[in-house]
Amino acid sequence: MNNRISGALRSPVTFSVLAGVVIGALFLLGTGADPVTAYQAVLTGALGADGIGSTLSTGTSVLGMALALAIPLRAGLINLGGDGQLVLGGITAAVTGLYVPLPAPLAVTLALLAGMAAGAAYAALAALCENHLGVPLLVSSLLLSYPAVSLASYLARYPLKEPGSSLPQTRALPEGVALPAFGDSTVTVGLVLVLLAAAGYWFTDRRTAFGYEIRMTGLNPRFSAYAGVERRGLTLKLMAVSGALSGLVGAIGVLSFPYRFVDGSLTAPGYTWTGLTAALLAAAAPLGTVIASLFFAVLQVGGLAMERTTEVPRELTQVLQAIVIVFLAARLRFPSRLWRRRKEAV
């Protein structure tokens, strides 16, 4: 157990996070702010009574996207088209919610499912490009993302635009077509859905043959191919699940405040990239992805509080996130010799 703890403390993850925090502190000093005050502001802003609701609703989207990107990543596949799948899910959910003449609970369910289906279909398209047209997934998913974002933007600005509004947004969903919120907060049932998805991912990863196939493909694609894992099928399935989750995040976004599709509101906060960062930090492990998502949601929300108290731009948290991944990818860790000497001294 002791070994396990020292191993975890010495792991590249700890090193990267600490390096990010230290470099972030240098940035803060560079702008003349006090790092301790700034980091305190991040924590109190994100976890205090005023911020926790915001952290949980941001966390819903971040965790959703992190799971969406972690699932293919577990098999070594990188889906860079999260933004496109996200907005398609959102706009499809908005159209369903607006035009399906069903009682509200059914309309909500249908909107969620439609959003998931749209995201899944679009992500599957990227997988087909890799499987049958020889375009690497990394590139096909990213290039497909741009036209999808443009399409959703067009729909929200022209055919579906709210008449008389100066904003690029659709009409508000009918009364009651919304995810129930907890109390007066902005936290909705969406959080529960995303946590259920995380639990499902954990179970699949740990307890099923399919999860084992995914992990083995990630660790050694040639071994898993030799053992009979059909790569094309796996890519297609994983991308469909990934897209479905991205679409779900989009649908949750539309079915929560302000209950409509607003152009840019799903992509501007950078959920896709924060999610990808979280998934990479956790090496796509289910529990780790949840923890990393919470960490980044705290940073993102706390960044606003930091900006208010220290006047340091909140973009600093984005810098910090990226630095963590740079260090992680470079596989830096504390040298073991240094660590041992320290332990002896203790």
Contact call for residues 296 and 55 (beta carbons, < 8 A): no
Question: Of 60 and 321, which has the nearer Cβ to another protein?
Answer: 321
Question: Of 192 and 325, which has the nearer Cβ to another protein?
Answer: 325
**Of the residues 151, 181, 195, 225, which one makes contact with another protein according to CB under 8 A:** 151
Binding letters toward another protein, positions 206-245, x by CB under 8 A:
----------------------------------------
Question: Of 95 and 173, which has the nearer Cβ to another protein?
Answer: 95
In angstroms, how far is CA 5 from the centroid of its own chain? 28
Q: What is d(CA 205, CA 90) in angstroms, rounded to the nearest whole number?
A: 28
DSSP 173: P
Q: What is d(CA 108, CA 179) in angstroms, rounded to the nearest whole number?
A: 7
Question: Of 39 and 154, which has the nearer Cβ to another protein?
Answer: 154
Q: What is d(CA 163, CA 170) in angstroms, rounded to the nearest whole number?
A: 9
- Other Cβ atoms within 10 Å of 308 Cβ, number: 11
Question: Of 205 and 307, which has the nearer Cβ to another protein?
Answer: 307
Shortest gap between Cβ of 317 and another protein (angstroms)?
Answer: 8
How many residues bind another protein (CB under 8 A)? The answer is 44
**Inter-CA distances, 48 with 34, 275, 298, 326, Å:** 20, 23, 11, 30
- What the block records as the tokens of 57 is 């609703």
**Of the residues 1, 26, 49, 133, which one makes contact with another protein according to CB under 8 A:** 133
DSSP 341: H
The closest of 101, 77, 12, 70 to 274, measured between CA atoms, is 70
Shortest gap between Cβ of 142 and another protein (angstroms)?
Answer: 6
Question: Of 147 and 335, which has the nearer Cβ to another protein?
Answer: 147
The closest of 300, 244, 306, 298 to 85, measured between CA atoms, is 244
The closest of 303, 335, 342 to 320, measured between CA atoms, is 303
Q: What is d(CA 55, CA 70) in angstroms, rounded to the nearest whole number?
A: 21
Contact call for residues 215 and 74 (beta carbons, < 8 A): yes
Rule CB under 8 A: which of 11-40 touch another protein?
Answer: 27, 31
**Of the residues 101, 103, 134, 164, which one makes contact with another protein according to CB under 8 A:** 134
Rule CB under 8 A: which of 270-299 touch another protein?
Answer: 273, 276-277, 280
**Of the residues 57, 235, 300, 318, which one makes contact with another protein according to CB under 8 A:** 318
Shortest gap between Cβ of 186 and another protein (angstroms)?
Answer: 24
Shortest gap between Cβ of 168 and another protein (angstroms)?
Answer: 10
List residues binding another protein (CB under 8 A).
27, 31, 78, 80, 129, 133-136, 138-140, 142-144, 146-147, 150-151, 153-154, 157-158, 273, 276-277, 280, 312-313, 315-316, 318-323, 325-326, 328-332
